[in-house]
Amino acid sequence: MSTLPADLKYVKSHEWLKMAADGTALVGISDYAQNSLGDITFVQLPKIGTVLRAGETFGVVESVKAASDVYAPVAGIVLEVNKALDANPEKVNQSPYADGWMLKLKLTNPSDAFALLSPEDYGKLTA
C-alpha cells in the first residue's frame, strides 16, 4: 500500500489537494494513480488563468499503459503549472506528492476542500 501524506485531501478520481493558508492549493495525482498508470511519458496541463469547475478535466497524463484524464478536485483558477513536467514527466512517478505536483490553484471557495476525502478514507477506497 502506498503512503498517504496526512496534510493532503483526496478525491475518488485519485487526485490530491494540498491547501495553503492563502487560499491556494497544489494539485497532483496520488501515488496509487501513478503506480496504476505505470511509467508516465507525457503530461498535458492547462494554461495559467484557466477557470476550472470541481470535477472538470484539466489535463491528460500519458503512460506506457494508457492515457488518463486528470480532474480538478475543487473549483478554482490556475495560477501556476509545473513546467518541470514538460521535460521530466517521470517526476510524477518518482515524487507524486512533491516534485510531481501539477497545478497551483486559487480556490473559488476554500471551504470546498473540507468536503474531500481524508487520507484514511482515500486509503480505504484504494485498499
Pairwise CA distance, residues 24 & 43, whole Å: 22
**pLDDT, tens digit (0-9, with 9 covering 90-100), for 56-107:** 999 999 999 999 999 999 999 999 999 999 999 999 999 999 999 999 999 9
Least Cα distance to 126 among 27, 26, 30, 17 occurs for 30
Q: Does domain 9-109 have CATH number 3.40.630.30?
A: no
To the nearest whole number, what is the mean pLDDT of the chain? 96
The residue ranges of every structural domain in the chain are 9-109
Amino acid occupying residue 89: P
The pTM for the full model equals: 0.95
Pairwise CA distance, residues 5 & 118, whole Å: 10
Residue 3 is predicted with a pLDDT of: 74
Structure letter (DSSP) for residue 107: E
